[in-house]
Amino acid sequence: MRRPRCSSCRGVRPRSHVVGKVSSWIDLDSEDEQLRLDSEITLKQEIAWASHLSLQACLLPPPKRYSCGNYARCVNQILQGMSNMQLWLRIPLEKSELMEDDSTNAASKHPSEGTFDSWELWNSFRLLCEHHTQLSIALDILSSLPSINSLGRWFGEPVRCAILQTSSFLTNARGYPCLSKRHQKLVMGFFNHSIQIVLSGTSLHNVSQEISEDLLVGDNNNHLEGMPVHHALRPYLDYVAYLYQKMDPLPEQERFEIGYRDFLQSPLQPLMDNLEAQTYETFEKDTVKYSQELILLSVSGQYQRAISKALVDRVPDEAASTTKTVLMVVGAGRGPLVRASLQAAEETGRKLKVYAVEKNPNAVITLHSLVKLEGWESVVTIVSSDMRSWDAPEKADILVSELLGSFGDNELSPECLDGAQRFLKPDGISIPSSYTSFIQPITASKLYNDVKSHKDLANFETAYVVKLHRVARLASSQPVFTFNHPNYSSKNNNQRYKKLQFVIPADTGSALVHGFAGYFDATLYKDVHLGIEPSMATPNMFSWFPIFFPLRKPICVPPESPIEVHFWRCCGATKVWYEWCVTSPSPSAIHNSSGRSYWVGL
């Protein structure tokens, strides 16, 4: 099957290539033994030929019935001996109630009486094939679509292409083929997730070629490569190309992050390890946190805004010229928070005395150069020490830190600030004043397979920092752990435990949970927030990607079944770690028991 590719990666020159197509008549689960045997022989022969031709992928016909054990066995057998070629299983995008005359349909074999959900068909097949990384999906897009929540599940699955039937197109007032608003939104979602569009069917619109070519927008037709100018399906492709070309360009933040999408990274160990210059540089580019340059004022300079408000509250206008506020930046890095503090003082007309405390000796060298370059010697005192062991010469009015991780407390901000709290005045201000972690269940087939490829327990019990992209967020996130600063409680204990229950929307259907996405939201001071929790995330900020807690075995969640999750934050003498598990709808193992695989060193 030769097909054009509408590339969703901006700036990437698309190209056409060849994908094999297995005969559609094969039925490996037929009751007819001869048909079943012939189907198996044909399947193996045709895939062997496609492999011989070094094709990138081969398109498999959809299962003829829900019970597809023999089909899956044969495909899995083929996958075991396959090197590079992908197998794309054709699945109709359908979730519907069955009518009485549907008794001959494959859906009648579905265990959920009265409904057909093609996701169940896919899930059954991929479980039988043990989540094989070379088994993917080709979605058949029909004229009617399931609910938005049901559609959302597929963006976390390994969908490689969407086959758009010409029967799905409507006709506009001028006789052109067009799509419904829901179909348009779905196609644009495919573009954003690098899912290729394939057109299929016979032409149902009698549009002259001269008119259809006028639908093209843009300066070149590279995305139409591989289709002759007078091809019968050209008007449909022109319309799909028009949808692609009218999409908004990726914002600067997304362009910066595109290379990190769905790439697993180990979280930082800032107490055990000294950060490298490149890490500091990435953080310092994030102007949302530190300054009011380049980004709109409403979302910029969160730290500077918080410090400005704290200074104004701390020192009234009438005392501004005579009162000097002692401000300590603990974990000063290469100086962005020092700069933000001094800019806040200049903005509010307050006087400052700044202590910049930093344990990384390499960063301290840069700090000394910065202070000398900017002429801050009379204002800034650099302290090369771990904040937990430093003996401060005086008490601070304001304590400023940026020790937050993707999960809020996962870089040990609670332990560090508890240790530094002793040199804050009793009425002193901590920035941040509190932070809360959040989690939500997700379908993340790619992330799961990437973790699985390591073939060991440790990687399934490690929390990863990752720019989530090819995932399906199955329910709204919920708060997990909260920490407040300063913390003068007599029961100063940073261990935590939380039990959460998530309910997936009823119209979603069944879903597979591969793990949990983690976020944080911090209150810097009063109404100044900073965070990555999706519903209230600070715009245009790339210092933090979400954290991903995988499950060793994905949990299948039936419709309307609650997901009960348990999370622990555990503290030892030399380390802090998380443990997590699921107890409903089916129990999982307790992950990372006693911090055996993943921990953060004190």
- Residues involved in catalysis: 402, 411
Angle between helix 234-245 and helix 181-192 axes, rounded to 10 deg: 70
- How many CA atoms lie within 13 Å of 174's alpha carbon, on the beta-carbon side? 8
**Which residues have CB under 8 Å from 220's CB, separation 6+?**
none
Instruction: Give the DSSP per-residue string, 503-561.
Output: E--GGG--EEEEEEEEEEEEEEETTEEEE--GGGPPTT--S---EEEEEEEEEEE-TT-
**Which residues have CB under 8 Å from 299's CB, separation 6+?**
288, 538, 539, 540
- Residue 386 annotated as part of some ligand binding site: yes
- Where are the extended beta strands (E) located within 295-419? 324-330, 351-358, 380-384, 396-401
- Residue 280 annotated as part of some ligand binding site: yes
Retrieve residue 282's tokens. Answer: 């990435």
User: Nearest to residue 504, comparing CAs of 513, 492, 495, 496?
Assistant: 513
- Residue 242 annotated as part of some ligand binding site: no
Cα–Cα–Cα angle for 265, 267, 273, nearest 5°?
A: 120
- Residue 290 annotated as part of some ligand binding site: yes
- Residue 387 annotated as part of some ligand binding site: yes
SS3 content of the chain, % helix, strand, coil (to 5): 30, 30, 40
- Residue 528: other Cβ atoms inside 10 A: 21
DSSP label at residue 58: E
Residues 489-519: b if buried by 16+ CB within 10 A, e if exposed: eeeeebebebebebebbeebbbbbbbbbbbb
571: alpha, beta or left, given left = phi > 0 and alpha = psi -120 to 50? Answer: beta
Instruction: Report which secondary-structure segment, H or E, holds 49.
Output: helix 33-52
User: Nearest to residue 127, comparing CAs of 82, 184, 167, 69?
Assistant: 69
- Compute the chain's Rg from CA coordinates: 29
- Residue 491 annotated as part of some ligand binding site: no
Annotated binding-site residue numbers for S-adenosyl-L-methionine: 280, 289-290, 358, 386-387
